[in-house]
Amino acid sequence: MNPVKLSENVYWVGAVDWDVRDFHGYSTNRGTTYNAFLIMDEKITLIDTVKKSKKHDMIARIKEIVDPEKIDYIVVNHVEMDHSGSLPEMVDLIKPEKIICSKMGEKALLQHFHQEDWPYQIAKPGEDVSLGAKTLSFLETRMLHWPDSMFTYLVEDQILFSSDAFGEHLATSERFDDEVDQAILLEELTKYYANILTLYSPLVKKLIAKVKEMNLPIKMIAPDHGVIWRTNPGMALEAYDKWSQGKGDGNALIIYDTMWHSTEEMAKRIGSGLQDEGISHQLVNLRYNHRSDVMRDVLNASAIILGCPTLNNGLLPRMAGFLMYMRGLRPQNKIGAAFGSYGWSGESVKLLNSAMVDMKFDIIDEGLKVKYVPEDKDYVQCVELGRKVGQALKAKKSA
């Protein structure tokens, strides 16, 4: 149960969860980590804790360095249970002098654990806490992604403990960004932002601007999930900057569900139209793709084309569920279009367009619906719809 050294007297003492495959609806096919950090100084400090079921892993790692009862302070950057689930038992064990959290963090801790006698200390932005040789500074990051969220900055070591920002759901035996496959790292970083932080992109944009304005030297970013950024923290910062502005890659996603393959055949022809315009595209069948993986691709797409047949005056359940999920995350700055087959009522295209209007997509066509099985003339219209989307993407790029 080895702890891992980040810098002099700073250690990772968290836990790896190899088995988790679902995180409140987000598929975690590569597991995750719950990161906690120990700072050895005159005032020994624990930054965050772990999920309750992983408490013993964290304690075993701490014991490799120090008796847990000698810890003086606990910093709570975020109250969500994957980071604070073991907190009550750790407080009982450690009996800390201070539990340092944001103002909203204190409120959330009281609402979660109902412990009014804990030694709360509010971390005020711009107010430092001396540990002896090292100093902690705090940055409130409210609604990234909970009201209580904050960052903790270790001044002398230039380490940013970033809570749920800049992390990934990724279980590995390695702890640092330069030790893992970079393609997998980027994939999981993207998926994490897409499913956790897309809704808060305007706040992320302000935060990135604030960090740039502060000219904060950052040698290392230590998030609460995934690997620690020691070699290329700029990669995470630059990616967040791009995603927070809704900058797509100029490509299109055709996301669809199908009943008897008519809508699927329409999707293929729309793809042909995009190809005619030189637009990279991907067909995503919701029957075979998890919504959280689809959202990863939505984040980087510039156009979203939704296809679904009509079922009982509505949508197929998979598309209805995906739309509810995507609307909650509200991706920005997308071109949108809709299509689908129907039998006798044909409401699906209208419903798809309505959802995209709610998300403020730029709808470039009223949509295309075909009764029962498409004919050649219908396929011509499908190709034309793909071309229209492609032309709109090229016009947007050149604007």
Active site residues: 24, 78, 80, 82, 145, 164, 192, 225
* Of 54, 245, 68, 83, the residue nearest 152 (C-alpha): 83
Backbone angles phi, psi at 328, to 5 degrees: -65, -30
Q: Is 216 left (phi over 0), alpha (psi -120 to 50) or beta?
A: beta
Both tokens assigned to 282: 């991907």
**Pairing mode, strands 252-256 and 303-307:** parallel
SS (H, E, C) 319-365: HHHHHHHHHHHCCCCCEEEEEEEECCCCCHHHHHHHHHHHCCCEECC
Backbone angles phi, psi at 233, to 5 degrees: -60, -25
Q: In sequence order, which residues have a C-beta less than 8 Å from that of residue 148 and are 6 or more positions away? A: 76, 78, 79, 101, 102, 104, 105, 107, 108, 109, 142
Q: 74 - beta bridge partners?
A: 46, 99
Taking the chain, what is the end-to-end CA distance rounded to the nearest angstrom? Answer: 55
**CA 143 and chain centroid, separation:** 13
3-state secondary structure at position 262: helix
Residue type, 317: P
